[in-house]
């Protein structure tokens, strides 16, 4: 489980930062990649990354501002051109489907795969055997959402020493014992799975927010996440401007991380006014409030840590 940031700027691209996109790479878990937002030039950023467009199986759009969606038609076309044939699910607010469909139609683009559009609204939930995904409305002038991705707890490992001590030698029977509640051995012994499994591994949870004003009530649904990705468009000094433009400061992102007791904070969506030297200052500013903060840059990637079991 890895996050890979393709674009960490806001509004307009700069030489240092492209507009918004990031991916959640679930290579060990399912082999798939999930994308969050797809600003213009995302497919060009991908060319310089290890991401394969055909591996992207879900795209989540936090909101419809251009810097979060204008790369979508091009990405979808190239995914097809580069051999993508498996279905793709796109999650986003009302209007997104119209934009995508008109863009593809007007350009005469035929895709070699199906798109399943899922319109999101506050409280949207999707459940699968491995993950639960929920969408939460933020505060951003137009509907903008945060997504909470909860990995489900995984079965503990089979405690082989215990089985051997019970006189069960290693073999295919181990898999059978793992797969069912109760297994009867040839000699009549009954083995209950729960007695020979280690503690279940708690699933991780990641909160990825779209553009938003700081709002302390967001801490309620983010609470205890292993990782929080939050925008920090402006420096802490620019609180008023952040409010006026429906954005947050880096300090506010850190304050929310602290309040939410998350394991770690990554800040993205930085204004193009900040150049590399400024970023160091922004980082210090945030770390005073929440030490486990990283200001992301394009192509920054990180394994998702477990939040030391605080809550999962």
Looking at the annotation, which residues are catalytic? 67
Q: Which is nearer to a copy of itself, 70 or 117 (CB)?
A: 70
Contact 138, 210 (CB under 8 A): yes
Tokens of 18: 């492209």
User: Please, is 242 exposed, middle or buried when counting C-beta atoms within 10 Å of its C-beta (0-12, 13-18, 19+)?
Assistant: buried
Burial 155-193 (b: 16+ CB within 10 A, else e): eeebeeeebeeeebeeeeebeebeeeeebeeeeeeebeb
Structure-derived torsion over alpha carbons of residues 299, 303, 307, 311, reported in degrees to the nearest 10? 90
Q: Is 202 helix (H, G, I), strand (E, B) or coil?
A: coil
Which of 39-47, 128-136, 152-160, 234-242 is the region at the interface with a copy of itself (rule: CB under 8 A)? 39-47
Is 107 an interacting residue with respect to a copy of itself (CB under 8 A)? yes
CB of 121 to a copy of itself, least distance (A): 17
Tokens of 223: 């609470």
The answer to whether 297 is annotated as binding is no
CB of 211 to Zn ion, least distance (A): 3
Is 108 an interacting residue with respect to a copy of itself (CB under 8 A)? yes
Among 1, 3, 4, 13, binds a copy of itself (CB under 8 A): 13
Is 109 an interacting residue with respect to a copy of itself (CB under 8 A)? yes
Q: Which is nearer to a copy of itself, 183 or 233 (CB)?
A: 233
CB of 53 to a copy of itself, least distance (A): 10
The answer to whether 68 is annotated as binding is yes
Structure-derived torsion over alpha carbons of residues 21, 24, 30, 32, reported in degrees to the nearest 10? 20
Among 32, 54, 64, 239, binds a copy of itself (CB under 8 A): 64
Query: Restricting to residues 130-169, which ones interact with a copy of itself according to CB under 8 A?
Result: 141-142
| CA-based torsion, 305, 308, 309, 312: positive or negative | negative
Choosing among a copy of itself, Zn ion, none, which partner's interface includes residue 211 (Cβ < 5 to 8 Å by kind)?
Zn ion
Query: Restricting to residues 200-239, which ones interact with a copy of itself according to CB under 8 A?
Result: none
CB of 169 to a copy of itself, least distance (A): 54
CB of 209 to Zn ion, least distance (A): 11
Q: How many residues bind a copy of itself (CB under 8 A)?
A: 40
Contact 14, 273 (CB under 8 A): no
Q: Which is nearer to Zn ion, 65 or 230 (CB)?
A: 65
Q: Is 177 helix (H, G, I), strand (E, B) or coil?
A: helix
Q: Is 142 helix (H, G, I), strand (E, B) or coil?
A: coil
Q: Is 204 helix (H, G, I), strand (E, B) or coil?
A: coil
Contact 251, 289 (CB under 8 A): yes
Binding residues for Zn(2+): 63, 65, 67-68, 140, 211, 269
**Chain positions contacting a copy of itself, by CB under 8 A:** 11-15, 18-19, 39-41, 43-44, 47-48, 64-67, 69-71, 73-74, 77-78, 81-82, 95-96, 98-99, 102-104, 106-109, 141-142
Binding residues: 63, 65, 67-68, 140, 211, 269
């Amino acid at each position: 489980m890895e996050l890979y940031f393709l674009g960490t700027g806001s509004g307009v691209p700069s030489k240092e930062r492209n507009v918004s996109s990031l991916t959640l790479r679930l290579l060990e878990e399912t082999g798939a990649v999930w994308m969050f937002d797809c600003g213009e030039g995302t497919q060009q950023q991908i060319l310089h990354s290890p991401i394969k467009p055909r591996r992207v199986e879900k795209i989540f759009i936090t909101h419809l501002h251009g810097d979060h969606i204008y790369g979508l038609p091009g990405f979808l076309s190239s995914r097809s051109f580069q051999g993508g044939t498996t279905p793709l699910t796109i999650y986003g607010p009302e209007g997104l489907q119209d934009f995508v469909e008109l863009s593809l139609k007007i350009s005469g683009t035929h895709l070699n795969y199906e798109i399943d559009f899922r319109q999101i609204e506050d409280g949207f939930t999707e459940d699968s055997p491995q993950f639960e995904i929920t969408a939460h409305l933020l505060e951003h002038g137009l509907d903008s959402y945060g997504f909470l991705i909860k990995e489900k707890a995984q079965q503990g490992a089979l405690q082989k020493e215990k089985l051997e001590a019970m006189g069960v030698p290693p073999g295919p029977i181990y898999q059978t014992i793992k797969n069912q509640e109760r297994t009867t051995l040839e000699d009549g012994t009954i083995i209950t799975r729960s007695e020979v499994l280690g503690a279940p591994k708690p699933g991780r949870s990641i909160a990825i927010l779209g553009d938003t004003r700081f709002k302390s009530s967001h801490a309620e649904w983010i609470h205890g996440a292993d990782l929080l990705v939050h925008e920090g468009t402006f420096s802490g000094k620019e609180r008023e401007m952040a409010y006026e433009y429906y954005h947050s400061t880096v300090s506010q992102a850190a304050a929310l991380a602290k309040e939410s007791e998350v394991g770690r904070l990554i800040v993205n969506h930085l204004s193009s006014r900040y150049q590399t030297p400024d970023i160091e200052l922004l980082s210090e500013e945030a770390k005073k409030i929440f030490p486990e903060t990283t200001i992301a840059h394009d192509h920054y990637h990180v394994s998702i840590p477990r939040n030391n079991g605080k809550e999962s």
